[in-house]
């Protein structure tokens, strides 16, 4: 899943981003609200980690704006231990969860998984495409009854396609799923990872729509 981390403390931000990447999440880290808003306009994040006190404003105001605009992306608040009022305001304003600083990084990963599971209760986490079954919460895939081992980038691309089965996604849309892994993306990266997925999942699962992009066949 691609996550937007909004946190202005350099040590904490670096630690969280690194740990989440090791847990096979793609992470974009920003330290200001204006950068966060620009990122949210450009990328369809699966989850937002939101610090409430930032150099250029309050994270709670961004959360309220998202909910007014009926943006349903999951939000976990990162809050200081003694700011109980902030936690209450955050939940009342539409946050899905909060975690108190300082926190254990493994607990944060568990909280993210719990939020994903709750979201999946509203919409089935299981996606089927022919003989391919994808569990978006557990982040597992089975082809013809056999579990398939995928790399982080392969999963990121497959997850992007699975969220809109039957819809054609452009190369640019799919590149977004790969950009946040901390290295430059080659111009043919999408083609490379589509080819790898086809070898693992079957040649006909991902269809090329000439001139438009790719789609996961229902």
15 with 71, same domain: the answer is: yes
149 with 52, same domain: the answer is: no
Identify the band that residue 11 occupies on the pLDDT scale cut at 50, 70 and 90: very high
* Mean pLDDT of the residues in the chain: 88
pLDDT at 122 > cutoff 60: no
Specify the pTM.
Answer: 0.65
What's the pLDDT score for residue 187?
A: 79
Q: Could you give the number of structural domains in the chain?
A: 2
Beta bridge partners of 28: 4
What tens digit of pLDDT does each residue of 80-104 get? Answer: 866 788 778 888 899 999 999 989 9
| 41 φ/ψ angles, rounded to the nearest 5 degrees | -70, -30
pLDDT at 51 > cutoff 60: yes
- Domain containing 131 equals 126-216
CATH of the domain at 199: 1.10.10.10
pLDDT at 200 > cutoff 70: yes
Q: What is the dihedral of CA 195, 201, 204, 205, to 10 degrees?
A: -100
């Amino acid at each position: 899943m691609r996550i937007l981390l909004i946190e202005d403390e350099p040590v904490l931000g670096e630690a969280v981003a690194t740990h989440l990447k090791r847990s096979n999440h793609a992470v974009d880290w920003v330290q200001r609200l204006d950068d966060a808003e620009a990122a949210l306009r450009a990328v369809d994040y699966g989850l937002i980690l939101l610090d409430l006190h930032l150099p250029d404003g309050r994270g709670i105001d961004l959360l309220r704006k998202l909910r007014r605009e009926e943006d349903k992306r999951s939000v976990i608040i990162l809050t200081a231990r003694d700011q109980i009022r902030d936690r209450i305001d955050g939940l009342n304003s539409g946050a899905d969860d909060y975690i108190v600083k300082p926190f254990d990084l493994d607990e944060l990963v568990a909280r993210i998984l719990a939020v994903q599971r709750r979201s999946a209760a509203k919409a089935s986490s299981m996606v089927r495409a022919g003989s391919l079954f994808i569990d978006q919460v557990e982040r597992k895939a089975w082809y013809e009854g056999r579990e398939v081992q995928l790399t982080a980038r392969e999963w990121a691309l497959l997850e992007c396609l699975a969220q809109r089965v039957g819809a054609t996604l452009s190369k640019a849309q799919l590149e977004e799923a790969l950009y946040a892994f901390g290295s430059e993306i080659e111009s043919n990266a999408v083609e490379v990872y589509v080819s790898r997925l086809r070898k693992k999942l079957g040649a006909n699962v991902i269809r090329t729509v000439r001139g438009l992009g790719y789609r996961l066949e229902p």
